[in-house]
Amino acid sequence: MFNRYLSGGKIMEYVALVFGIIGIVAFAEVCSLKTKVAALEAQLGKVEGTPQYEERLSLIRAAEEYIGKQVNITLKEEYQDVDVPQYGNTKYGSNTILDADDDWILVQITSAKGSKQVLIRMEAVQSLREV
């Protein structure tokens, strides 16, 4: 009697629909989990004695040491800013650190198209390297 109402093709369509919905829910959960992990890492960066704190402290020291100097800035994946790698980290452009504190870096990005100043969160920086 069940087969009379639903043919084999219809059953497969419903199964595919259910798996599609499950996939969308799983994707949403993974995206929210990635955001939560990034927030947790930012909080751990302020807790003394953690590896994240030591990493953050070394970046702060490096940023303060590089004030007035040209640097290559690598940003973490979730904080990508198109101006830094596309204009500042190129052969024809530069990133110059103008000021830095515990939370922010003020950077002047100079390229063939002009220059502008941007504020970058310290937690967004993966690495700093003097040119």
Domain edges within the chain = 2-43, 45-130
- The pLDDT of residue 20 is 94
User: Which residue do the tokens 């069940």 mark?
Assistant: 2
Q: Is the pLDDT of residue 50 over 50?
A: yes
Global pTM reads 0.70
Of all residues in the chain, the percent with pLDDT exceeding 90 is: 41
- The model's pLDDT over 52-111, given as tens digits with 9 standing for 90+, comes to 899 889 999 999 999 999 999 999 887 877 788 778 888 888 999 999 998 999 999 998
Q: Is the pLDDT of residue 46 over 80?
A: yes
Q: Is the pLDDT of residue 4 over 70?
A: no
Query: What integer best gives the mean pLDDT of the chain?
Result: 87
- The pLDDT of residue 2 is 52
Give the single-character DSSP code of 89.
T
- CATH topology (fold) of 45-130: SH3 type barrels. (2.30.30)
Q: What is the side-by-side order of every strand in the sheet holding 114-121?
A: 114-121, 104-111, 94-100, 70-75, 125-130
- The pLDDT of residue 12 is 82
Q: Is the pLDDT of residue 1 over 50?
A: no
Report d(CA 118, CA 114) in Å as an integer: 13
